[in-house]
Every structure is written in C-alpha cells, then in structure tokens.
A and B are shown apart, each in its own frame.
Chain A
Amino acid sequence: MSACLFRDTYLHPLLKVRSQFRQIFLEMGFTEMPMDNFIENSWNVDGLFQPQQHPACDQHDAFFLKDPAEALQLPMDYVQRVKWTHSQGSYGSQGYKYTWKLEEARKNLLRTHSTAASARTLYSLAQKKPFTPAKYFSIDRVFRNETLDATHLAEFHQIEGVIANHGLTLGHLMGVLREFFTKLGITQLLFKPAYNPYTQPSMEVFSYHQSLKKWVEVGSSEVFRPEMLLPMGLPKNVSVIAWGLSLERPTMIKYGINNIRELVGNKVNTQMVYDSPVCSLDIEPRSPQTQEAA
C-alpha cells in the first residue's frame, strides 16, 4: 500500500540553517545585534577605518541611494575624530594622509557587509561606562552590486560573531573559532594571513573538505584596528575580535545545491523546499544533486 505524500508544512532550507547558526551562537553566550536597517551610510564604512578611495567603496560594488541620497544626521564629534584618524593619523597611527571628505561620508547605501551594523553596536557599547565585556552575533542580509553568476547574487546573508574584552589575543580568536566550527562538524582548521583595511591581524579560515580532498575557505576572522575602536570611545586596552562567513555557502554544501538561484529568490523550486531534510549542521553533507538528463 503506497504511503500518502505529506506536504504543506515546510520551512525554507536557508532559514533552517540560519536557525541552527542562531542556536550555536546562543549556546556560546552571544547576544543578537539589531540588524533591522538595510540602509547605511558611507560614514559607517569610514568609521571602520576603510579609506574613502578604497576599491570596495566603488560605485560598482555598492548600491548607492538616489532617494534618500544622504544621511540626515551624523554624530559630529565622532565624525571629527574619524576624519583626523584618516587624514592626519592619531591614536598611535600614521593614518592614510589624504583629504577626507564629509560629502563622501554622507552618502547613503545598502549595507555591503554586516560589520557596519556591528560598528553601530560597538559604538553604543563604548558609550556605556564602565566598560563591560560583550559577545555579539548577527545573521542578516547584505547587498553587493557585483557581477552575478552561479554562486553570486546581489543579496546574500552574512553571519558575524564579535567579542569585545580586555586582553584578547589572536590565540583566543582561533580558540573561539575552533569551538564554533566544531559545532558545525568541522574539526580541522588552518589559518592564513589576509588583508582587510579595518582589521589587523586578519586571517582566512580553511577547513579540509573530505570529498573534494582539499582545503577550502570557510570564513574569515580578524582583530579590529585601534584606529577603528579608539575614535568610538572604547577604552585603550579593549580588543575586539570578530569572524564571519556567508550563510548561503554552508547551506549549498549541506543541501548539495550548485546554483544559488535554486536556493534564494522567487525562482526557487518549492519542491526543493518540500524535499529538504532536517538541518543539523554537524551531520555530514549530502553529495551534490545529480542533474536531470538533458
């Protein structure tokens, strides 16, 4: 006797994975950051100590806004400190020594990474005296105005974890990452030096992929630069370590999906949603789905 097909009660696979990551962060004592603002302004990027002429700020990488085109309010005393740090150097830094322009900083855009929102949270943390250590996380949408292909869309989700405390070391960052990735079933990690304008040191995190038989990048991690933290008002010996990865990539690996459009957006086949198994991230992922015969 054939079984009746169950339908009707399905959660989207990407959001199932998101729930799992939320769970992992909560288990590790991380507090969720407010991320309910897609619109940021360039100011927030400058506050990260990313220089205004940096390639990542190009018109062709970010979605700039026509309306509202500019931020209505900026915290001017903080702005002055950031301007000084960029152009003249301060807080022990040489700075970038260029002419920092306020008009550039006022431009609104769709956030290109979640670190912009983390910066807002860190700024709020810095205003609370005395300083108390904090652990934050976020999983939300970011926007990039890039060329689209099988693994890139204009909108995707970033996962970010942040720890702010006295005396944090690179060894601590690596230790936290080991615990985090162990909960994902990944135990072998390698770290590689990388470059990011607002972090130093920065590392790319690699794990060994059993079926591909090679090391693949699973995320990036970093220590925020003092030039970013000190203008916010954080005490001098407070360090902030952070790491991030995309939500789509582990989901695609977990569910064996090769084209991101099959996962996100309106062209998603709801049958895929019906068929996707329960998400427990530490279980070995399935092999990529076979293509239908041409």
Chain B
Amino acid sequence: MPTVSVKRDLLFQALGRTYTDEEFDELCFEFGLELDEITSEKQIISKEQGNVKAEGASDVVLYKVDVPANRYDLLCLEGLARGLQVFKERIKAPVYKRVMPKGEIQKLIITEETAKVRPFAVAAVLRNIKFTKDRYDSFIELQEKLHQNICRKRALVAIGTHDLDTLSGPFTFTAKRPSDIKFKPLNKTKEYTACELMNIYKTDNHLKHYLHIIENKPLYPVIYDSNGVVLSMPPIINGNHSKITVNTRNIFIECTGTDFTKAKIVLDIIVTMFSEYCENQFTVEAAEVVSPNGKSSTFPELAYRKEMVRADLINKKVGIRESPANLAKLLTRMCLKSEVIGDGNQIEVEIPPTRADVIHACDIVEDAAIAYGYNNIQMTLPKTYTIANQFPLNKLTELLRLDMAAAGFTEALTFALCSQEDIADKLGLDISETKAVHISNPKTAEFQVARTTLLPGLLKTIAANRKMPLPLKLFEISDIVVKDSSKDVGAKNYRHLCAVYYNKNPGFEIIHGLLDRIMQLLDVPPSEEKGGYVIKASTGSAFFPGRCAEIFARGQSIGKLGVLHPDVITKFELTMPCSSLEINIEPFL
C-alpha cells in the first residue's frame, strides 16, 4: 500500500478544521485509508541515524497515511484534502478544464526512432502557477510516488517537469546513440555524454535502479527544445537547464513510456492535482503531440466519462434500500458526480479524469457503499442451503493423524521447500533421479526445490530437538511435489505419510509395527491377494543394506521402510540410529 506523508497542520488548513488524532483516524477508516503513523522529521532521523544527527531537524508533525494502490488521486496532500472535503460535503468536486493557449500551442514532435525504446509520449502545460516551498515539495513528491506505483518504477511511464520560461518549443522526442547525447544533467555542474552518465549513476542510490530500462538499447530516448537544449533523457534524469524552482511560473510536463494508457492517466493526475495553484484555477493548457506518422493529438485528455447505473442494482448489490436521489448524493460525495435521470430509476454517473480506477459498474457500487458507510449496512445471512462435503484426501488425513498420535507419535509440520541436497545428496541420490520441481529465483539454498519426500524435514526436526529425551517418534502427513507431464502445469502433489523413530536402537520392529497398524486402520489385510499388502526386501540408497523393505498394496509400490544408513544419519547431523517409513496414502481413498 502506498504511503503519503503530509504535514498535519497543512492538511488541517486545507480541510478547514482541526481534528484530534482519534477523530482523523476514524475519518480515514471510514474513507478506506489508514493513518499508519504520526511522526516528525526529527523522529524519523532519530530512529534511523540516532539522536545526534536528528538535532536541528523539523519537529513539525507528519501524518503518514496509507492509501489504496489504485487511488492515484490520493497520493498527495492536495488530492487527499480534496477527496476528504468532497466526502464530507464541504466543497463540490472541481471541474477540470483543458484550455487552448492565447498564443501558439506547445508542440512535442515524436520521431520514429523512439519506437523501439520508448514509443509513447504525452504533454501539457500548467500556466501561471504559484508555488510555495510546501507546494513545490508536494509536486516533486507526487511524481516520485507515481513513478513507484502506476509507472512501475519508471519502466512503464516516466515524468519530466520543466520550467517553460527557460525553453523554446517546438520540442522533439527522439532517440539517439548514447555517445551522441551530451548535456548538463540535474544538479551537476558540467556536461556529460549519456555513456558517462550511465557510469556515474551506477553508484547513485536513487537512480541506479532505473538504468537497466534503457542501458542495453542501441538508442537512448531524449527530448530537445528548438535550440538543442536537452529537457530530459527519460526515464533516467532531467536536464539542469529547465530545472523547476519555487519561483517557476509556467511548467511544461512530458510523460514518456511504454504503456500509452498509463502515460495518459499519469499526466491527468499531475495536472488535475496541481492546477489548483494556477491563476486560472483547475484549468490546464493544452499541448499538441505529433506522432511519427504525422498525426496530431491534443493532451491532456481530461476525459469525463458517463456511465449509467440502475439505482436498484446498487441497492441489491450492497443490501440497502436507498432512494435513487440519496444514492446519487452518496456517489457525488466520492467525486463521482451523479444525478437521477429518465424514469427515476437510472443514475447517470460522471467519472472524472482523477478516477481512472473506476472501470466497471461494480466500482461505482463500492463507492456508494463506502459513502453509505460499510458499518451501517445491515448484516443478513444468504439463503444458500448446501450440504457440506469434506475433500476425501483431507478426511482420510484427519482420521490417520489422530490414530498416529494415538500410536504414540508426535506430529511435525515442516517446510515444503528445501535445498537440492536435502532430497538428493544427503539421501544418496542424484538430483536428476528425483523428478523434483526446481525454483528459478531462490533467495537462498533453502528454497531450491519443492520436496519429493517428507523424510528430510522430519530428520531436520529431530536434529533441532536433539536435547529432548529419547526416543523421538515423529510423523507428518502432508504433500510432496513431483514433475508430472500429464497435469496442465506439469507437476502434481501427492499426500505422503512419513514416520521416524530415533533412539539408542534403530527400532525397526516399531516402525514395522506402525506400518501394520496403519494398514489395519485402512482395512488392508496382510495378503498377496488383491486388496492386501505385502512387504518385500529391497534396497534404497538411504537405507542400511539388508534393512530395507518395499511396501506393495493395491497393486502398486506405495513406499519403503527400513533402518536409515549411517551416512544419512551423519549428513543430517544426527548421532543415533533411526528408522523410517514413508508411504503414499492416495491409493487408499
């Protein structure tokens, strides 16, 4: 969940009243936000770097608010305050307008070279804007939040904001060889080529994460103005020339990327949020974008979409009985301006450009429910009469577990993921013989494969409990995984039962007795005949030679039992003899 950090007093100023922490917490809860933390810059630095470094830092109270991941309109103080004000019916949602400029329209020309590296771009202008230090900080912070969220760490979209008064259009968005791009990047004092910058930023904690997006491409994206000044090299860094300051009055915004829909959404969000500070409040000056094929488009789109929803649909989905007029009022409080039309049962909902998250009628239903208040909805039970059924394999497992414990064994719960060694080398096998499923991105060796046997998990549990009084008798009934090309995903789970006996003597007769008991519980007679089980002497790399047997039942081999080989004992860091039993219980369903 994204977190927005806002100065509490500034927020209360924007909201037009103060709240106690509890009152604000409740307001957040109602709206679907979470007041995660109340802190200050001083406290943050204190926590991270100690009290000495925190000396002189700001004491101003900060609210850290968690917002839903799809609400891009709540990612800054401006949007948060606006959303809450409309929710509390203190203001009406502003109407955002795109206006044509008095003079010539700003143009961004895209050349065909961008197609292979970063094909899409949109642009807009914020005219006669007034920043204060707080507004400026908020502007920069919003771009960062959008970059992290919807822009997927700048890979899908990157935002560039520039002081229009330092530049001269028309602007060109093209792609060039890195050695051919040379400019003074933000906050540096001299010019560098793109190659040099890639090297320099390898050690920059913030920018190094984005280099991979264009690093290996033959051409890097770059935006120039008509005098050859570099505005930016997206998605890495802007040029220093067009840097924005608190005194900037006119801003040129460009969003470039690989996802056109998201680029448009991001542009809409920035301009709607900050056009509040333009002289002509909530208006955004249009910019023209020319595609490589010559086609012209005007941005920002700032589209208002209308959707029709039936009042009774909302009532039915939520479980309330509000009049259409009331429902329209509830939706309007969520920035979805609505009115009752037609026969009185239809509600026309206007979805503003700030609510790109609303894509289906169910999103409208949810907003109506939030405005009504989830905790005001009457709780009822659905008339869904059904007879319950247990999953047969789980039913069998539950019955066996109880009887295993009754037989004197203790239940263990071990991990399904383990190292390759655990299921192969330590048991005297080669990994290729195991038909194991391999993980492609394990962080450590503990997550290399999914287990093909329950034995390693139980042996590791014994190793961690060596100090417990002997004998240690453990069991587990759980799933193992093997590759299986007959399944749609290529792998299958099998339910295994595994038991181990660890003591001064190996206790083979006890494990054998346990097997007989299990077969008795499963109603499988000891017999060569159909439906019975037999034990035949066998070999196994994990077992002591001459002390291993294979179990056959229902016409197939279901597993092995025996005394474990001393090598296995040692490899699992154990010191006493141990015998084990492992069978597949699925044939007994």
Contact = CB atoms under 8 A, between A and B. Distances in A.
Given A30-B386, A266-B463, A155 B415 contact: yes
Contact of B457 (A67, A225, A266): A266
Contacts of B488: 41, 71-74
Contacts of A176: 381-382
Contacts of A195: 32, 68-71
A64 B440 CA distance: 6
Contact of B447 (A63, A71, A163): A63
B319 A270 contact: no
A214 to B, nearest CB: 10
B293 interface: no
Interface in A8-34: 8-12, 14-15, 19, 22, 25-34
Contacts of B317: 169-170, 223, 239
B461 A270 contact: yes
Contacts of B554: none
Nearest to A56: B69
A134 interface: yes
Nearest to B469: A7
A165 B384 contact: yes
Contacts of B391: 32-35
A193 B31 contact: yes
Contacts of A197: 70
B261 interface: yes
A200 B386 contact: no
Contacts of B378: 171
A11 B361 contact: no
Interface residues of A, number: 101
Interface in B293-330: 316-320
B144 to A, nearest CB: 16
B380 A175 contact: yes
Interface string B182-213: 00000000000000000000000000000000
A36 interface: yes
A227 B417 contact: no
A92 B309 CA distance: 11
Contacts of A65: 437-440, 491
Contacts of B68: 193-195
A151 interface: no
A203 B375 CA distance: 11
A36 B393 contact: yes
A203 B493 CA distance: 33
Nearest to A27: B388
Interface stretch (B342-350, B364-372, B536-544, B576-584): B364-372
Contact of A38 (B319, B388, B394, B450): B450
Contacts of A95: 359
A179 B34 CA distance: 26
B360 A93 contact: yes
Interface in B383-414: 383-391, 393-394, 398, 401-402, 405-414
A122 B374 CA distance: 27
Contacts of B31: 193
A243 interface: no
Given A39-B481, A170-B377, A225-B360, 16 more contacts: A9-B405, A10-B405, A11-B411, A28-B388, A32-B391, A36-B495, A63-B417, A64-B440, A66-B439, A71-B488, A72-B489, A95-B359, A165-B382, A190-B375, A265-B414, A273-B411
Interface of A: 7-12, 14-15, 19, 22, 25-41, 53, 55, 59-60, 63-74, 89, 91-98, 108, 110, 133-135, 141, 143, 145, 154-155, 163, 165, 167-172, 174-176, 178-179, 190-195, 197, 200-203, 223, 225-227, 239, 264-271, 273-274
Q: Which 8 A-B pairs have the closest CB atoms?
A: A171-B319, A169-B319, A193-B32, A68-B490, A195-B68, A266-B460, A66-B440, A201-B366
11 contacts: A8-B410, A53-B156, A63-B439, A64-B440, A68-B437, A108-B491, A110-B439, A170-B319, A176-B381, A200-B365, A266-B464
Interface of B: 29, 31-32, 34, 68-71, 152, 156, 259, 261-262, 316-320, 359-363, 365-366, 369-370, 374-375, 377-391, 393-394, 398, 401-402, 405-417, 437-443, 447, 450, 457, 460-461, 463-465, 468-469, 472-474, 479, 481, 483, 485, 487-493, 495
